[in-house]
């Protein structure tokens, strides 16, 4: 089983080091220059990521 974590690069509510620790459990990680609303502010990236994951 694979998992993917999308990390908003400028989100500071969770300490960046703690975010990196969370992503270590994921098989794949993507980082977007974004705040909390990464999926909303990166709509085309979200669609591309979901399309890629659906083909796996």
pLDDT at 31: 84
CB 27 within 8 A of CB 4: yes
**pLDDT for the residue 4:** 82
How high is the pLDDT of residue 30?
86
Backbone angles phi, psi at 41, to 5 degrees: -85, -10
At residue 1, the pLDDT reads 62
Q: Which residues of the chain have pLDDT under 70?
A: 1
């Amino acid at each position: 089983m694979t998992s993917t974590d999308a990390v908003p690069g400028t989100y500071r509510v969770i300490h960046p080091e703690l975010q990196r620790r969370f992503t270590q459990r994921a098989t794949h990680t993507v980082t977007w220059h974004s705040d909390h609303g990464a999926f909303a502010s990166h709509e085309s990236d979200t669609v591309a990521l979901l399309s890629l994951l659906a083909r796996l």
